[in-house]
Amino acid sequence: MVKSLKFTHFQTMNFKALLIFLVLAFSSPSWAEVDSSNLTALDTISLSEVTPATDQQWKSDIALIIDKAYELTGIKYKLGGSKPETGFDCSQFVKYVFEQALNLSLPPSARSLSKVGETIKFEDLQPGDLVFFNTRKSKFSHVGIYVGNNEFIHAPRTGKTIRVESLTKNYWLKRFNGATRVEPEETL
């Protein structure tokens, strides 16, 4: 049995409004040049009703970042390593993930990565954020990628492999230095 789709008047109006918005956004160099005299009040849409394309793109970019990071789980740690074949250190792991997932070039060290992006509070962490730790009696000496649910993925140390760990584990919680959110326009 085939079900037919029926749209409510509200859904039809929202779809029309979205189409109008897209046409206006991509065909006109300026909103002022649009002739809106033949639009009804129901056909218009406020910008707050539509998630901006850049926000939607960034959400899908975050999924790419997390997927690429998980693909590398189990690869061995290697100080200075920058390829899956040789292994990774923490900052090269982060750099590689962002390059492969989004073609974004990030700095090569944890300390320099800490200077890129917007500073984020612990309670405001979102997947894709970079998390920093003091693991060598030096601020920002270790970095990982937050994946959600108070967990992050990282290349821990010699003899270990890339893995997911809890931020609330006492060891990491005591050494947490801060976090940043890297957006595409903020990268090098």
9 given a catalytic annotation:
no
80 is catalytic: no
DSSP-assigned letters across all residues of 6-28: ---HHHHHHHHHHHHHHHHHHH-
* Cα-to-chain-centroid distance, residue 150: 16
Residues 17, 62, 69, 90: which is the catalytic one?
Answer: 90
Return the H-helix or E-strand segment holding 175: helix 170-175
Under 8 Å between Cβ of 160 and 153: no
Which of 75, 154, 162, 179 is the catalytic position? 154
Which one is catalytic: 87, 106, 142, 145? 142
CA-to-CA distance for 171 and 27, rounded, in angstroms? 54
DSSP class per residue in 24-49: HHHH-S-GGG---TT--GGG---GGG
How does DSSP classify residue 3?
Answer: P
Residues carrying an active site annotation: 90, 142, 154
